[in-house]
Amino acid sequence: MSLQLIPPRIQPPLDENFSPAILANQNFQREVESVGVRLVLGLERSGGEVSRFETKVYPEGHPNFESNFQYIERIVKFLLWQRGGHALYVGGPIRITEYLRKIYSASGARSFDYNFMGEQVYEKKFSVIACDEDEVPASHETGKLLGRNLKGHRIGFDLGASDRKVSAVIDGTPVYSEEVVWEPRKHTDPEYHYREVMTALKTAASKMPRVDAIGGSSAGIYIDNRPMVASLFRGIPQAQFGKIKNMFLRIRKEIGVPLEVINDGDVTALAGSMSIEDNAILGIALGSSEAAGYVNSEGHIMGWLNELAFAPIDYSPNAPDEEWSGDKGCGANYFSQQCVFRLALKAVIEIPADVTDAEKLKIVQEKLEAGHEGALNIWKSMGIYLGYGIAHYADFYDIKHVLILGRCTSGRGGDLLLEGAHKVFETEFPELMKKIELHLPDEKVRRVGQSVAAASLPVL
């Protein structure tokens, strides 16, 4: 028996199949409320940290029991890419554990997630562990109060796919900044990346009398200053990747000052938090893919993955496939230029095949600014996706602010995204109108830039 899908009251104009995850989950919980039993999930990751998530499911023997499988599998999928983990504890009916163990295995439907979360990210075999509800390990999430440290002579850097940025920052004020074009994905020698980063750091250091600390942001999954998986380093052979994992530890030792490097999404959320002067902020960047970062209500960066590009928000069996994992309905196809290109086909907008993705996006955005109906419907659809997506995210994050940024938000697009999200909130989730404030990066948000936020990461 499949999970019952609920059609949205606000339909994306270019996607008649959209089946929001939030509506299916809410309906499942309403149906199970009076008969359900407690199920507890625990996700263990590095350093013995554990995230817990509790819900209700149908008990053994109930005629709807098998609808538990899809519901819990989608919850687990979301939690893995939101929080990370190499061990999944399942406190509930044993048949649910057995189903998850089969799905999240080397030969299961989620073999990508099994391999990625196990050996690639946490360097351990991924495991699914059956236990009673009261045997699931207690929540243990310390987080780090990173950032907001503005005093001293600091360097902040950001490593992107097409350029690397670095700033010299004295007491919170940039005194020098530069952007250098590079193509890190094409290089197979770890020493190339080491030399490029060191050149940037030495350039910034030459603009100050001393260096007290270094902070950086970069695309990818970082654990304890080690890049475990990152598209920037996709050209590095696996046999050489250990040098990349230890590159920033090597740099910290050679320069001899505190150094912190974290995911660029988390630094973006931190910059937003510092500007807004409030916490519980989720940053979502709609760029070449979906990037995200989170600062909790206490101002901590949690060490979660926040790789929401791989987290499902659409349960439709006709949802598009995510190109890397092969799963359906994941964020990358709804909150990025990938979504623009996918919907452009439905909007009957022809895009030349022999230009870069950046040029493709520019072509569609020019049509949007000119008032082209198809282009307008692309961003209207994305705004509706965003409203349902944020409502779904709010079941997993404590959110007061959502910062929307990235190249897909430029020009008229940003306003259409917010309009669509607000319309969904008003119609389906009026309680979120009072709880969550949506922000585009206006001057208030831009007051603390990425470089200053990155430079502020280490504690002296």
Average pLDDT of the segment spanning 314-318 = 97
* pLDDT at residue 390 in the model: 98
Average pLDDT of the segment spanning 25-53 = 96
HEC string of 342-402 equals HHHHHCCCCCCCCCCHHHHHHHHHHHHHCCCHHHHHHHHHHHHHHHHHHHHHCCCCCCCEE
More confident residue, 415 or 356: 415
Q: How many CB atoms lie within 10 A of CB 183?
A: 11
* pLDDT at residue 172 in the model: 92
pLDDT, tens only, 174-183: 999 998 988 8
Average pLDDT of the segment spanning 209-225 = 93
* pLDDT at residue 447 in the model: 56
pLDDT, tens only, 237-284: 989 999 999 999 999 999 999 999 999 889 989 989 998 999 999 999
Average pLDDT of the segment spanning 208-232 = 92
Confidence of residue 318 (pLDDT cuts 50, 70, 90): very high
The yes-or-no verdict on residue 417 having pLDDT over 80 is yes
Residue with tokens 């989620």: 110
Q: Tell the CATH superfamily of the 268-446 domain.
A: ATPase, nucleotide binding domain (3.30.420.40)
The yes-or-no verdict on residue 355 having pLDDT over 60 is yes
Confidence of residue 75 (pLDDT cuts 50, 70, 90): very high
Which is nearest to 401 in space by CA: 431, 436, 434? 436
The answer to whether the CB of 288 falls within 8 A of the CB of 219 is: no
Residues of the chain with CATH 3.30.420.40: 153-264, 268-446
The helix (H) or strand (E) run that includes residue 193 is helix 190-205
Which is nearest to 80 in space by CA: 46, 109, 130, 117? 117
The answer to whether the CB of 402 falls within 8 A of the CB of 281 is: yes
* pLDDT at residue 448 in the model: 61
pLDDT, tens only, 374-391: 999 999 999 999 999 999
The yes-or-no verdict on residue 444 having pLDDT over 80 is no
What the block records as the tokens of 224 is 């304890």
Percentage of the residues of the chain whose pLDDT score is greater than 70 = 98
The yes-or-no verdict on residue 446 having pLDDT over 70 is no
In CATH, what number does 153-264 get?
3.30.420.40
* pLDDT at residue 144 in the model: 80
pLDDT, tens only, 124-150: 999 999 999 999 999 999 888 888 999
The yes-or-no verdict on residue 442 having pLDDT over 80 is no
Q: What letters, b where the CB count within 10 A reaches 16 and e where it falls short, cover 103-137?
A: bbbeeeebebbbebbbeebbeeebbbbbbeeeebb
Q: What average pLDDT does the chain have?
A: 94
* pLDDT at residue 356 in the model: 86
Confidence of residue 160 (pLDDT cuts 50, 70, 90): confident
What the block records as the tokens of 428 is 């389906």
pLDDT, tens only, 3-33: 999 999 999 999 999 999 999 999 999 999 9
Contacts of 431 (CB under 8 A, 6+ apart): none
* pLDDT at residue 292 in the model: 94
Percentage of the residues of the chain whose pLDDT score is greater than 90 = 84
Q: Bin 303: left if φ > 0, else alpha if -120 < ψ < 50, else beta.
A: left
* pLDDT at residue 1 in the model: 64
Confidence of residue 445 (pLDDT cuts 50, 70, 90): low
